[in-house]
Structure 1
Amino acid sequence: MPEAVETMDGWYCLHDLRTIDWTSWKLATSDERQAAIHEFQQLLEKWEQVEQNRNGSHALYTIVGQKADFLLMLLRPTLEELNQIETEFNKSKLAEFTKPAYSYVSVVELSKYRPSKDGEDPEQKPETQARLKPTLPKWQYICFYPMDKRRQGDDNWYMLPFEDRGKLMYEHSKTGRKYAGKIRQIITGSMGLDDWEWGVTLFAHDSLEIKKLVYEMRFDEVSARYGEFGAFYVGSILTPEQVPSFLQI
């Protein structure tokens, strides 16, 4: 039987995508809208303090297209804390004017396909901990999508020997490293947590770099033969200062 790869797991992650009920928002009074915006900005300030204390991280982006209006990406050490934040937002005034579009629950994940060269446990290295418990970059663009590894006939990822999977993933990672400084990638595992097996979140300064990376990776065997992909969500950063103008009527 093929050997399962060990994973290093970090903070839990929630991608919370919402649409705004603009009709109801327009019908609200100016005071109601201002109160909702102010309360939401206070939540963002609270989350920013958590991020400064290195107890979690968050990112807020508008989404282009009809799938959603905005995305909240949240990282916390436990599922309970993640659920607490979700509930806190759901109780807010702004949430009364939103509808769930999509959500994804996962955990930041790194795979141990390649042994450590110095014999040290890679999970204990500071650089590994920084990747498992990251501060989300506030870059201009974001792209999120879920994915699976294919299990069809001869193209069954889970029947491949451990060494073959490791080699394919190494070749795949070399493509990604070509975009260092242009793309920041965060992989989250979700087996047993959500409907897909992994979530991929890409941050970029230039949206075309996202397109180029995803296209080039399509030619890696691990994607061409074994990749199954869900919906893509793409958008631009929404800073706390931009929230009032985004919601302005």
Structure 2
Amino acid sequence: MSQIAPATLEGWYALHQVFSMDWAALRAAGPAARAELAAEATALFNELAKGADGTWSAPFRLAGGGADWLFVHFRPTLDELADVQRRVSDSALGAYLRREYDYLSITEAGLYHATAEAAGEHKPGSDEFRARIAESMAAEAASAHVRSRLYPQVPEGMRYVSFYPMTKRREQGANWYSLPVADRSRLMREHGMTGRTFAGRVFQVITGSVGLDDWEWGVTLFARDPLEFKRIVTEMRYDEASAVYGEFGRFFTGIRFAPEEWASHLGVVAG
């Protein structure tokens, strides 16, 4: 049995929300109402910015993408993430927002190499195999690098974001899920090596969504220079893991702003 699923480690639940603003309704609300709305939005996102156990939320102003805002939320549990979603929806700001897209997932580290090694040493499904996987998972979970992937904190100054969902192909002649685990491990290792050449320039957050949303993974990239998004995605498209087996959804690119900036973004004129 070579077509086995890789072991995975999971961390925080993630929700990416994409909204358009009803600018006509906002203008009709008048200056006083807009000022009150901005104050409420500032208070809301200041509170959401820091969740439990280091989790966080952040607003981004989109450029293109057919929408105005991207809100990114990380929380320890699905229940807490659903509460954040409700708070945004029930807020005064929520009355002016139209949801264009959202994406539910959880931060993930895929242990392809460890799974391939265990399968090479023991029969998949055996007690020895499960013990070997458990040992690898414990070691990886203690790694600072892996923990930074499961519980991400964006480096200072990386104010640009690019988010997109993706799936592995399941087509005749290009079916990722029919490949032996050793081949998938090799391809993902090569793919990861390309990503590492952008260390310090791009911070990557990979979230898994199999069984949670329509796509299989979400990719959230942060950078100081938005051109780095074009560079890294171009480079990684040439890896076999993407060139042969990758399918990609919509891309959303934005600029992070502090909660105190809601007033200027909502057209409040300082008096």
TM bracket (short chain): over 0.9
Q: Residue 122 in 1 paired to residue 122 in 2?
A: no
Q: Residue 221 in 1 paired to residue 240 in 2?
A: yes
1:24 Cα deviation (Å)? 0.2
Alignment match, 1:185: 204
Q: Residue 161 in 1 paired to residue 188 in 2?
A: no
1:73 Cα deviation (Å)? 0.3
Alignment match, 2:107: 108
Q: Among all aligned residue pairs of Structure 1 and Structure 2, give the percentage whose two residues are the same amino acid.
A: 41
Q: Decide whether the 8 Å contact of 1:89 with 1:95 is kept in 2.
A: yes
Q: Residue 133 in 1 paired to residue 151 in 2?
A: yes
Matches within 5 A, 1:57-76: 57-76=56-75
1:35 Cα deviation (Å)? 1.4
d(CA) in 2 for partners of 1:66 and 1:143? Answer: 11
1:126 Cα deviation (Å)? 4.0
d(CA) in 2 for partners of 1:130 and 1:54? Answer: 14
Alignment match, 1:3: 4
Alignment match, 1:18: 19
Q: Residue 242 in 1 paired to residue 261 in 2?
A: yes
Q: Decide whether the 8 Å contact of 2:176 with 2:245 is kept in 1.
A: yes
Larger Rg: 2
1:240 Cα deviation (Å)? 1.7
Identify the range of structure 1 (60-69 vs 109-118) with the bigger mean alpha-carbon deviation.
109-118
d(CA) in 1 for partners of 2:50 and 2:9? Answer: 26
Identify the range of structure 1 (113-122 vs 2-11) with the bigger mean alpha-carbon deviation.
113-122
Matches within 5 A, 1:7-86: 7-50=8-51, 54-86=53-85
d(CA) in 2 for partners of 1:161 and 1:66? Answer: 37
- Provide Cα deviations, 1:54-87, integer angstroms capped at 9, x if missing partner: 3411221111115210100000011110010110
d(CA) in 2 for partners of 1:109 and 1:19? Answer: 29
> In the superposition, relative to structure 1, how do residues 136 and 81 fare at CA in structure 2: closer, same or farther (>3 Å)?
farther
d(CA) in 2 for partners of 1:88 and 1:94? Answer: 10
Q: Secondary structure at the match of 2:229?
A: helix
Q: Secondary structure at the match of 1:29?
A: helix
Alignment match, 2:87: 88
Instruction: Give the helix-richer structure, 1 or 2.
Output: 2
Q: Which amino acid aligns with 2:216?
A: E
| TM-score with structure 2 setting the length | 0.86
Q: Which amino acid aligns with 2:104?
A: V
Q: Decide whether the 8 Å contact of 1:58 with 1:136 is kept in 2.
A: no
Say how many residue pairs are matched. Answer: 247
Alignment match, 1:142: 161
Q: Which amino acid aligns with 1:151?
A: R
Q: Decide whether the 8 Å contact of 1:148 with 1:198 is kept in 2.
A: yes
- Provide Cα deviations, 1:71-123, integer angstroms capped at 9, x if missing partner: 00000011110010110111111111110010000000001112399966211
Give structure 1 stretches of 5+ with no counterpart.
none
RMSD: 1.9
1:44 Cα deviation (Å)? 1.5
Q: Secondary structure at the match of 1:114?
A: helix
1:134 Cα deviation (Å)? 1.6
| TM-score with structure 1 setting the length | 0.94
